[in-house]
Amino acid sequence: MARPSLHTATDVLSFQELEDPDGGPPRRFSVVGAQFEPLGYDELLALDGPATFNLRFHSGRILETDIPGVNVGGVASGNAIVQSPFASRAIGLVNGGWLPSSLASHSDTLVMPDRCVVSDLRGRFSAGQRNANPEPDFIDLFAESEIRINPFLFALEGNTKRTPTPHEIEQQWREAHAQLTACLPKAKVLDLNPVLLAGTIGILQSSQADFQLEQRFLSQVAPGLVSPVAHARRFDKSNHIIAIANNLGVKRSSLALVAALSTVFVPNGASPAKRLLKIRPTYSAGDAYNALADLRSLGILMHLFAMYPHDRAMLCTRDKDLALFWVGLNAARFRVVGRHMSFDVTPEPLFPGLDRPQLREVLGLT
């Protein structure tokens, strides 16, 4: 087991063993430019407090080491159980899974924080200096890095639990830009310009028809999802939900529909999708809006993966249920087909107890 320290300004990762398995003094090594493999559903589900996880990396260049037979300047790959003093409340959603926020961010990564992360950063830092805080987090390392931040999601969601107007989008973007540049002066925060504003408004307008249908859909199905669904009634309930979606014209590929179906098949009402959808007895249009804004952020992330397959993008969130839903989807093979984005899913963690044919039938996969 190793304890890491990370200096993201130079992408340097330093490891020191807690103990040498051969009984000698703990060994250490440092690498720069390592690429980290995304972590999975079970590792995220178990995440709580200071992070312990199996970190896999490759393509790192060794800067220093006291391990015999390992040469400085060589290329390193590794697989170590890491015990970190940092928590990972801020989770980086990336292509293939998740990583602690600063491990998911490289100098060329486009970081898209949600509103809760922007608020967290504002509370943690003043002019790049860390404020008193009882729980160190991987996100603290953002202060050392010239990370590229796009406040797009902050502006797109707005702060009114409804679709923002163009003026509100502009206002929210400038607010996020001011907050982020004040707390992280080394960061390169994308400033708003007419092209970006027009593009953001265009994305909002092009998705609005589906968004409104899904809002109606969630308002109709939410009351029936408050109580856990009996095991014997799972397929009847899922068929009922699909029928409501079909009647409203909600697409079978809708993440809102997938999330609603997941709440049916996870025992005891324990689905992260249920919490993500904000299911409760008094379900409001604002609850549906907030849930769909979160799901829309995943859709935007997937579009970036499809349109720019060689670029890095990371959605940074403190919403563990959103993160669990993303990782549980196992979305892959993002691609542009004609004028549409397409992707594959194998969301077994969100539908426990279903074999592959049953899952494909429930989700309408061909």
| CA-to-CA dists, residue 111 to 58, 61, 91, 174, 209, angstroms | 22, 24, 11, 17, 27
pLDDT tens over the chain, length 366 residues: 445 444 443 467 777 776 766 777 777 778 887 788 999 999 999 988 777 788 888 888 888 888 777 788 888 787 777 777 888 889 999 999 999 988 887 778 999 999 999 999 999 998 888 887 768 888 988 888 889 999 999 999 999 999 999 999 999 999 999 999 999 999 999 999 999 999 999 999 999 999 999 999 999 999 999 999 999 999 999 999 999 999 999 999 999 999 999 999 999 989 999 999 999 999 999 999 999 999 999 999 999 999 999 999 999 999 999 999 999 999 999 999 887 889 999 999 999 999 999 999 999 986
| CA-to-CA dists, residue 361 to 143, 217, 256, angstroms | 47, 20, 17
pLDDT at 365: 85
Burial group, residue 290, by CB count within 10 angstroms (0-12, 13-18, 19+): middle
pLDDT at 66: 82
pLDDT at 11: 63
pLDDT at 163: 93
pLDDT at 10: 43
AA letter at 158 = G
CA–CA separation, 82 and 59 (whole Å): 18
